Amino acid sequence: MAQRLTVSRAAQLVGVSRGVLQRKISAGELVSSDGLVATDELLRVFPQLRLEDSGAFEQTRRIRDEAFGRRVGERMLPSPEVLSQRLFAQSQELAELRRHLQAYHRLVADTLAMLEATPADATPGEATPGEASARAELVHHLERGLARVLASEASDPLDAMTDMLKVVSAHVSVRPSGREFLVEGNDSLLQAGLKSGLRFSYGCGGGNCGLCKARVVSGEARPVQHADYLLSAAERAQGYVLMCTHTAQSDLVLEALEAGGPADIPAQDIVARVRAVTPLGRDTRLLHLQTPRSDRLRFLAGQSVTLGVAATEGDVQHSYPLASCPCDDRNLLFHVVRDADDPFAAQVFADRLAAGSPVGVRGPLGEFVLRTGEGRPIAFLACDAGFAPIKSLVEHAIAAESSGPIALVWAATRADGHYLSKQCLAWAAALDEFEFQPVSAPAPGAAALRAVEAAAALPWFADCDLYAAGPSSFVEAAGALLRARGVAAARWFCTSTP
């Protein structure tokens, strides 16, 4: 009997993104019922998953070993306590299925016994030859069916793989948004949700502030670290937990607050420390800051912050877009460009920010964030260091797994303009629906023309959302070119960067 899976679990089983399955469901290519997908329906749409009957046991064992081995190698297995609880839950489910099977077996056996004990002419009137034949066929059908059930048929390898995935990861659905994500390894509910692109409300991330409290509607959550913040007796009775200190012991349904946009993210003032300053090119450096464990920066992908340091000539500060994903809220990355008019950049290129140096972080700022559009294609246009906020958006889109195909067109006007091209090539190699096109031009205006032309050549350009970041002259030129092509303002989002 086919199992019915959530879209997230089905995507995990098939090895594609959740967005791919959602688009197939929307197009009618994949049938779902009440948001669930049957395993036999997955086999119909993805026939490459069908394992040959011969050697099924060996193939199943190989898949199991590879999956477990990969997760062990990546340290993705849950703690022994969580694993034991999930295995116990699976054992309870198996025991219940066996109880039902035994009941059905007794029902069929009793029906057979009653039919065999009842004479063919026991009903009023004389039984016709056709009725006698139908009765004999019914008895024969029941006997054959019972023999098949009792026979040791090979189990469906997909069912075995699905059961295995339920042990090593837990599925969480969130109300009222309807979003869903998987909890793997020793991640807390908050960590797993952020890695999947959700915008949960939270503060410290360490069990001190209580901002990440959520209500468990169904399923079991388990604490994984101590919390100084104490829930009230009423909150505990209603099923509230702190997402930053709890993980999923089983599949869960949560009621949790999520940010709808930049207006829902509070202003923060944090003192971070320099982790490293690394050259990305002749005129570009990567500034890696790390926040305290108890005071992390909550932001949306694409936003900016103001950085400040104390210098001999006085306090200096400058605003930079974050080049990191919100899923890693302690490690903040910035692409700092050499600029004579930027006193903070002068500190960076003069090597005055040593490891451990304090840096003030104030923000987040800006509304250059991903809009919700389940399954819509996205084209990102970047020029030079405008790649920084685009990188944050790309990583968020990949984590959320809800967008359609993604194209990144990166225009360079400097010799080191494509300073992270290997990262872009890695995305393109790893993701089936990701395309990277580097272009070059001597000035931002010409770069905008080449970037827009490359985006317009995409087969899905007419249906995509566009995000552009770079020098103001690049953004203005790109906007004019897109308007000339009839691109609606509702599909076009931009921000200016150094």
Q: Bigger pLDDT: 51 or 469?
A: 469
- pLDDT band at 380; cut points 50, 70, 90: very high
Q: Bigger pLDDT: 66 or 81?
A: 81
CA distance 337 to 412: 13
CA distance 76 to 247: 14
Q: Bigger pLDDT: 98 or 368?
A: 368
Fold that domain 168-262 belongs to in CATH: Ubiquitin-like (UB roll) (3.10.20)
Q: Are the CB atoms for 397 and 406 separated by under 8 Å?
A: yes
- From the list 81, 67, 146, the residue with the least C-alpha distance to 112 is 146
pLDDT of residue 129: 66
Q: Give the full edge-to-edge strand order of the sheet including 465-470.
A: 434-440, 406-412, 378-383, 465-470, 492-496
Domain spans, the chain: 1-48, 168-262, 265-365, 378-496
Fold that domain 378-496 belongs to in CATH: Rossmann fold (3.40.50)
User: Which two structure tokens, joined as six digits, stand for 379?
Assistant: 């084209």
CA distance 286 to 277: 6
- pLDDT band at 328; cut points 50, 70, 90: confident
In order of 89, 222, 419, 426, 450, the CA distances from 422 in angstroms are: 44, 40, 8, 6, 21
Q: Are the CB atoms for 269 and 181 separated by under 8 Å?
A: no
CA distance 253 to 178: 10
Region 485-493: what's the mean pLDDT?
91
User: Which two structure tokens, joined as six digits, stand for 404?
Assistant: 């359609």
Fold that domain 265-365 belongs to in CATH: Elongation Factor Tu (Ef-tu); domain 3 (2.40.30)
Burial of 474 (0-12, 13-18, 19+ CB in 10 A): buried
Burial of 339 (0-12, 13-18, 19+ CB in 10 A): middle
Tokens 């034949």 appear where?
Answer: 133
pLDDT at 83 over 90: no
- From the list 321, 280, 273, the residue with the least C-alpha distance to 301 is 321
pLDDT of residue 291: 94
CA distance 77 to 168: 6
E-strand ranges in 323-392 read: 331-337, 358-365, 378-383
In order of 86, 231, 242, 341, 348, the CA distances from 354 in angstroms are: 46, 41, 36, 22, 9
The mean of the pLDDT values for the chain is: 83
Region 199-223: what's the mean pLDDT?
89
pLDDT of residue 53: 41
Region 267-292: what's the mean pLDDT?
95
- From the list 143, 156, 145, the residue with the least C-alpha distance to 39 is 156
User: Which two structure tokens, joined as six digits, stand for 466?
Assistant: 């566009």
Q: Are the CB atoms for 251 and 171 separated by under 8 Å?
A: yes
pLDDT of residue 482: 94
State the DSSP code for 28: T
Q: Peptide bond preceding 266: is omega within 30 degrees of 0, i.e. cis?
A: no
CA distance 454 to 405: 15
pLDDT of residue 64: 43
CA distance 21 to 13: 11
The kind and range of the H/E element at 69 are: helix 56-73
- pLDDT band at 468; cut points 50, 70, 90: very high
- The pairing of strands 252-255 and 169-175 is parallel
Query: End-to-end CA distance of the chain, in Å?
Result: 59
- pLDDT band at 430; cut points 50, 70, 90: confident
- What stretches of 187-309 show up as alpha helix (H) in DSSP? 189-195, 233-237
Q: Bigger pLDDT: 191 or 17?
A: 191
DSSP helix/strand/coil, 184: strand
